[in-house]
Structure 1
């Protein structure tokens, strides 16, 4: 355990640059006395760790000191950082890099660990391609060359030219300032600005990409999680949203609420069903959500939604009225 702690101590100093003994003790969950003994052990082993005195002092490593793991290249290291989701690595075009990096990690393990790990990995399955109902979970595929070009522009901070096919529109070329990449439920997105306005592009709709030499107009640091939350909120509260009055079986309430953007009112109806006023992204979204609930829900208003669902049901009934 001490060997693990010593490695962790070095990695903490590599990441933060300088930390006090108290800060190291908190991170490692040990006493400051133990930290001091570990610092002495590292120094004796030749690790160039030194102390800086004063109110803002602490321990640091000599500049240029590095620890390497079996020659990981840039993409392999990046793949390991997003390896919490194998599908996330796939969405960013890092699937092959992740496989290569993991082979190097396994090769770097001591022989006893390697055997144990090989046996353990056979007992774990993460994100299988089908769920319990045998529904195939198909991730969106983006050409490796396209997503690699996008990644380069994002990391280098350069402007990016993309050939983008928006929904129901002909593909067009546009130049954007890339901010970051996000993956949500196997779908990848490029967050960018265009002429100063926020833009979100679905990676699967990018037909071609070209990194430009011109620097992107963007802040040096970004809180990608906050940016995504803000854009998600604007997406949910903008556009052609529709509000629907629905009666639903209590057993299917969560299905309805889970599909809706917002619930504005809810009360029990006389027959035990629930009456809810909910908002959907647009007309197609509302029709899809109510159709999934079949006879477990009834759209009371607006009238166009009732008509649309009735016509769809009639068309299905007609299709199955005769023999196959």
Structure 2
């Protein structure tokens, strides 16, 4: 781990010039004290690092210094494979590996190409943490150590023991045969088999994981996209689903579809508003989705949903009827 960090530190200084200890600490995700220790280690190893004191000071490398320490680690190679989605790397616990790998890739380029790559990085921003309304993108927090254990079991083809907290149930240990990892809208899932049956586990609900030495009982090859589609179809068809008839503003249609399980029927009324028959996971899901649409949508049926929305609205009106 430290060797990789030292290489990343050198590459940061080569590519971006003089940087403060605070900036290096932020880029490497360590403390400033760790950065100072690393700088001392590099100097002792003969790397020409110099320090410039003062308000605008920092650390840099003597001009002309070049290192060939650009070999990719296994995790860095994996990160590049899924680099088409930066959030995919984050979801699978490879965010820091991706950053380290990209430093090495840029450093390996010819100087003219390296300058172009740096310019591109300044002009393109992918998946920022907030949208135009300053709403933060909610990403599930999953410990990197746990993700690394799950990832190794998936790639090595070994059985995996997980401590899993299913919704509304007491966490339990279970042993599964991992098949693959999937990320959807910043949520990660483990596809696995247990006692020969398909199982899907939300990564954020895995409290602990342990890769076992025993080989996993799974197909040699898998079409992960097809497997995900099949499980998604089964999920939408089962459980305590509810169907709701909605009349709504067409401008909010896409927002509704982002949370609904399925649209079973759709037509346009003479006034241009949409009439949809939509499936939700359960009653709470349906009430939440309609409440988000406020006055732009009306639940026409079932009656219990209309009553629930009315009661919620009346409770809200009562709260704000008098000054705080």
Q: TM-score by structure 1 length?
A: 0.75
Q: Mind listing any 5+ residue stretches in structure 2 that lack a counterpart?
A: 1-67
Tell me what 1:184 maps to.
184
Q: Which string of whole-angstrom CA distances, capped at 9 and with x for unpartnered residues, describes residues 145-167 of structure 1?
A: 10000011111111000011111
CA distance in 2, matches of 1:75, 1:272: 52
Cα deviation for residue 69 of structure 1 reads: 9.6
Cα deviation for residue 226 of structure 1 reads: 0.6
1:99 pairs with 2:111: no
When residues 120 and 146 of structure 1 are mapped into structure 2, their CA distance, relative to the original with a 3 A threshold, is same
Summarize the alignment of residues 143-154 of structure 1 with structure 2, pairs less than 5 Å apart: 143-154=143-154
When residues 270 and 312 of structure 1 are mapped into structure 2, their CA distance, relative to the original with a 3 A threshold, is same
Summarize the alignment of residues 82-161 of structure 1 with structure 2, pairs less than 5 Å apart: 82-161=82-161
Q: Which string of whole-angstrom CA distances, capped at 9 and with x for unpartnered residues, describes residues 23-68 of structure 1?
A: xxxxxxxxxxxxxxxxxxxxxxxxxxxxxxxxxxxxxxxxxxxxx9
The DSSP-based 3-state class of the residue aligned with 1:218 is coil
The structure number with the bigger radius of gyration is: 1
**Aligned 8 A contact 1:69 1:108 in 2:** no
When residues 88 and 273 of structure 1 are mapped into structure 2, their CA distance, relative to the original with a 3 A threshold, is closer
CA distance in 2, matches of 1:256, 1:112: 48
**Aligned 8 A contact 1:69 1:105 in 2:** no
CA distance in 1, matches of 2:266, 2:152: 49
**Aligned 8 A contact 1:72 1:101 in 2:** yes
CA distance in 2, matches of 1:133, 1:320: 25
CA distance in 2, matches of 1:114, 1:273: 53
Tell me what 2:323 maps to.
323
CA distance in 2, matches of 1:121, 1:274: 43
The DSSP-based 3-state class of the residue aligned with 2:131 is coil
Cα deviation for residue 120 of structure 1 reads: 2.1
The DSSP-based 3-state class of the residue aligned with 1:114 is helix
Q: Which string of whole-angstrom CA distances, capped at 9 and with x for unpartnered residues, describes residues 186-224 of structure 1?
A: 111100011111111111111110001111100111111
**Aligned 8 A contact 1:241 1:280 in 2:** yes
Q: TM-score by structure 2 length?
A: 0.75
Number of aligned residue pairs: give it.
257
When residues 255 and 105 of structure 1 are mapped into structure 2, their CA distance, relative to the original with a 3 A threshold, is closer
Tell me what 2:295 maps to.
295
Summarize the alignment of residues 225-236 of structure 1 with structure 2, pairs less than 5 Å apart: 225-236=225-236
Summarize the alignment of residues 1-324 of structure 1 with structure 2, pairs less than 5 Å apart: 70-269=70-269, 273-324=273-324
The DSSP-based 3-state class of the residue aligned with 1:87 is helix
Q: Mind listing any 5+ residue stretches in structure 1 that lack a counterpart?
A: 1-67
When residues 177 and 69 of structure 1 are mapped into structure 2, their CA distance, relative to the original with a 3 A threshold, is farther
When residues 226 and 267 of structure 1 are mapped into structure 2, their CA distance, relative to the original with a 3 A threshold, is closer
When residues 246 and 161 of structure 1 are mapped into structure 2, their CA distance, relative to the original with a 3 A threshold, is same
CA distance in 2, matches of 1:162, 1:257: 33
Q: Which string of whole-angstrom CA distances, capped at 9 and with x for unpartnered residues, describes residues 273-302 of structure 1?
A: 443322222111211121112122221211
CA distance in 1, matches of 2:110, 2:268: 63
